Structure 1
């Protein structure tokens, strides 16, 4: 009798595992739903915004809320996040020490986790590259306009809250069922 019960339990567990795999095509990255992460991103971004005197220039492309909810923008925002992690946030930690921007040491691991969680689910598309190219061109132009790469990077850090919001809105968990 114990063998029959174990066999039924094993079949049930296998069915549950298979149905869970079939349902979730993209899992939600936990930091996107974490209020502490949101707060840390906001504190860091507000600090950078307070140092920024140019309130007219925007680096991250404007993406409509309809397009964000469409879900195709998730990979574009993940690519911008990857750029942030490799070229902006890591550079700030090396150049200024992690104390220049409050909570940077808390934000970076959470953003790395979001990138790690979502990157495997992204298929490269031309539209994705357009958003990244627009962002990098805007960053380069800002550096030339300010005649200072550090000020342009500060503006980008000030827009981390926008990027995080885009990730939250566009990278919802999806299912195939």
Structure 2
């Protein structure tokens, strides 16, 4: 028995998600509704993609890693390949799941991975064998995926005992995870930039040196600038795996940076961000390419700010 007042800690903090991520009724309802709609056309009752078979010969402490891999497969090979007009809210659900995967970017497997890879390959093979029906089945099991993810990544594991003081609170600052997400963004941003037209406007900049100073010390500027990229910049582009990852990464950064240094909510747009939006709108479609081109400026700002977090 654990000592009185003790609490179980995760085998790896990187393999933990906050319960609140799954308690948002809006996205839960969207996910369940999408799954229910897809099941209406699923006549196959003999096969299941999401189930306990994914955990065969896998230790309980590695289950979150398994579900992270499943999410990556479902998002990349299913949700992003289905026409958006076929299912309502599929883009929102894809972004939510991608955000969970991003938050678990530091979650690693402990031990030998042969059984995990075998189980995942069997799931992928079964989905491919079913063809279009396989993708439809995967969408029809999104509610199962949601529940399995919640159970595997938010439940308290049954191993290491630590004091309550050491347990992670809902608003804890996860500096290591934020830094890891930013590092991954550098790689994804490079690939993403290569897939869109280059920024040919060299005599103007959206992100200026004066904005950097404000970004470092003003939480409203940080929050609004990240929101600007998610809504105005990436929102103007078509769906794709790199875009979904980057959007979810920005949302994860925004949420977790505010946990490190809570920011008082405000409806007023800061002057700095207002100027950026004004130039962005004036440039039209070219403004999108310029903003993405300037990820080379923004990402180092984020990394520099992370290093100042105590």
When normalised by structure 2's length, the TM-score is: 0.42
Distance across 2 between alignment mates of 1:36 and 1:68: 32
Q: Is 1:123–2:109 an aligned residue pair?
A: yes
Q: Is 1:38–2:28 an aligned residue pair?
A: yes
When normalised by structure 1's length, the TM-score is: 0.70
Aligned counterpart in structure 2 of residue 109 of structure 1, from 83, 92, 95: 95
Residue ranges of structure 2 left out of the alignment (5+ in a row): 1-10, 163-310
Residue ranges of structure 1 left out of the alignment (5+ in a row): 1-22, 144-149
Q: Please give the root-mean-square deviation of Cα atoms over the aligned residues, in Å.
A: 2.9
Q: Is 1:81–2:63 an aligned residue pair?
A: no
Question: Considering only CA atoms, is the larger Rg found in Structure 1 or Structure 2?
Answer: 2
On the 8 A contact 1:25/1:174 being kept in 2, the answer is no
On the 8 A contact 2:62/2:109 being kept in 1, the answer is no
Q: If each structure's helix is expressed as a fraction of its own residues, which one has the higher value?
A: 1
Q: Deviations over 1:73-115 (max 9, x none)?
A: 11111101101111110001xxx2x131122122111111101
Higher relative contact order (CA 8 A, sep 6+): 1
Distance across 2 between alignment mates of 1:64 and 1:78: 12
Deviates more, 1:23-32 or 1:69-78: 23-32
Three-state SS of the structure 1 residue aligned to 2:13 is strand
- The change in CA–CA distance for 1:123 and 1:156 in structure 2 (over 3 A counts) is same
- The change in CA–CA distance for 1:63 and 1:166 in structure 2 (over 3 A counts) is farther
1:1-177 correspondence runs (5 A): 25-26=13-14, 27-29=16-18, 30-63=20-53, 70-92=60-82, 96=83, 98-123=84-109, 125-143=113-131, 150-172=132-154, 177=162
Q: Deviations over 1:61-80 (max 9, x none)?
A: 43599x99933211111101
Moved over 3 A (4+): 173-176
